[in-house]
Structure 1
């Protein structure tokens, strides 16, 4: 049975500044803009940094969203305009809530030989879009949730474990590692939609085969649980879910707003260097900041949880 399962195939996108790395993006997509409040899923690596050059994303702004960084291998230094200097390591979550505005940089460290992970965004609901920015770090415990199945819950609650990092809407995010042929039923909270991103191996999700890099989504109210089964080589997946996000938002570059004017204002404030996004200290790179791209010659339009391109008449520029 694969009732109600939609599989989104990733597209390759260059990410960030003069030394761009390529990521595989499944959200946002024409088929679907959100899973819960998860609005952005970039999957990258494993990359040999001696060949790829690793990650070097110069200071850039965000507003009305939160970023969730999760690594499988490697190490990334995070700096932000709050004065935070922190490392992203495998199995440890870093959550940065941009709120009214923040800027940050991301650079893989010299100790990194293979870089492999995901960068996830959460859209903040209108009532929380202008909260004060904050940064949180957490190391979730490894849970034995079934025979041959281990999990770490980095956002929300699942299998009796709860992450302390603060989010602004009802969500769940977890890494699940399955031995070859292992099976687990993933509980689905009442009213949640849920997705699985396959990082390594292959899996069957609610009866639908899902290949590496693909995102499989089940809509809200379908099942009290969804079955996840690893292929012959095993699998590592991310489980992402939440209450359906019912608001319309404008997503463009690194900004989320409720209108075209919100995004235009954010871009102007970043370009003019106002205090809204602050300044990242200590970043040492080829440029001191990433300039915002030019706005398209059409009005940015809002998107909800359906497939549309974000503004009329063109493709949105790659986000950082």
Structure 2
């Protein structure tokens, strides 16, 4: 019996989303494939943004060079398949993103950082993901975490869990809502059935190979969406070479968010204040400074602080659109 035949009839099928090409900002623009947000789906759990890039020959493309830029109201999740990226932020963190190693940065009320592929990088390939912070935590202290997960074998797959719990493995990395993030590599023609939390919705991003997710075919760069209610997901590699995927999941995020540029807020005013604070180097409220407990990482007391060690100017914020920013939430 196939997984599709075994699936209860009341469960919806797998939705398939294809990416759009988007150039990143900075002095050396780099094109990425953006799968979240979509017009028809803004969130998968608290995952609100998914960029997928490479494999890029750095000698031909110039690699990644994203100048200092701000974030609010989110966590950034960096996961590489090949290459190396140098990370600097306004907390004073100087770290590297390497294959199989998680770098998670919590923006909270405000942080800024830069990302540059290193001279050691020949091929750059990976994903950049964002997680929306729940309203009660969106002004939390800025933070940076690094974790190197191991891998576990499930059927014909090697699973590396970098956030949440899967296949009996739990990541120690702190999140602010129930989440799952894992790299899953399937051998040629292999199948793996994974027990998952039925309260979660899930998205499977295919990096390379052709994969069937619970009976639905996915091509490279596709994202397959599974609504809550499933207690297992079956992945089958239909190609004769290894297939690599990234599985994202979480409980449905019930709040509406406003996403614009690098900011996640709850209203247009949130975004306008964040943009103004970035452009002026100040703070729109009294929460900056050493006595606030918000830990913006700034020696000067400004909301987004300063990124030290980057050779170049920081990115200016684009102009706000002339039409109002519309809050977006989960599709029901």
Partner of 1:121: 130
Q: What 5-or-longer segments of structure 1 have no aligned partner?
A: 308-320
Q: Deviations over 1:112-161 (max 9, x none)?
A: 00000000000000011000000000000011122x31010000111111
| Contact 1:8–1:31 under 8 Å retained in 2 | no
Alignment of 1:34-73 (within 5 A): 34-73=43-82
Aligned counterparts of 1:234 and 1:118: Cα–Cα separation in 2 = 18
Partner of 2:207: 199
Q: Deviations over 1:196-253 (max 9, x none)?
A: 00001110001100000000000111x2101110112231000100000110010000
| Contact 2:264–2:271 under 8 Å retained in 1 | yes
| 2:248 paired with 1:240 | yes
1:224 paired residue among 226, 231, 236:
231
Aligned counterparts of 1:204 and 1:97: Cα–Cα separation in 2 = 33
Q: Deviations over 1:34-90 (max 9, x none)?
A: 110000000000000000000000000000000000000000000000000000000
Partner of 2:114: 105
Aligned counterparts of 1:105 and 1:92: Cα–Cα separation in 2 = 18
| Contact 1:198–1:236 under 8 Å retained in 2 | yes
Q: Which has more strand, going by share of residues?
A: 1
Partner of 2:91: 82
Partner of 2:322: 297
| 2:80 paired with 1:93 | no
| Contact 1:94–1:136 under 8 Å retained in 2 | yes
Q: What 5-or-longer segments of structure 2 have no aligned partner?
A: 283-301
Partner of 2:172: 164
| Contact 1:202–1:209 under 8 Å retained in 2 | yes
Aligned counterparts of 1:277 and 1:4: Cα–Cα separation in 2 = 43
Partner of 1:273: 281
Larger radius of gyration: 2
Aligned counterparts of 2:219 and 2:194: Cα–Cα separation in 1 = 19
| Contact 2:33–2:51 under 8 Å retained in 1 | yes
Give the TM-score taking structure 2 as reference length. Answer: 0.90
Query: Shift of the alpha carbon at 1:190?
Result: 3.1
| 2:13 paired with 1:24 | no
For the residue of structure 2 that corresponds to 1:267, the secondary structure is: helix
For the residue of structure 1 that corresponds to 2:271, the secondary structure is: helix
Q: Deviations over 1:264-301 (max 9, x none)?
A: 0000000001211111000013xx10000001111111
Give the TM-score taking structure 1 as reference length. Answer: 0.93
1:249 paired residue among 230, 250, 257:
257
| Contact 1:69–1:118 under 8 Å retained in 2 | yes
For the residue of structure 1 that corresponds to 2:242, the secondary structure is: strand
**Aligned Cα root-mean-square deviation (Å):** 1.1
Partner of 1:284: 311
Query: Shift of the alpha carbon at 1:306?
Result: 3.6
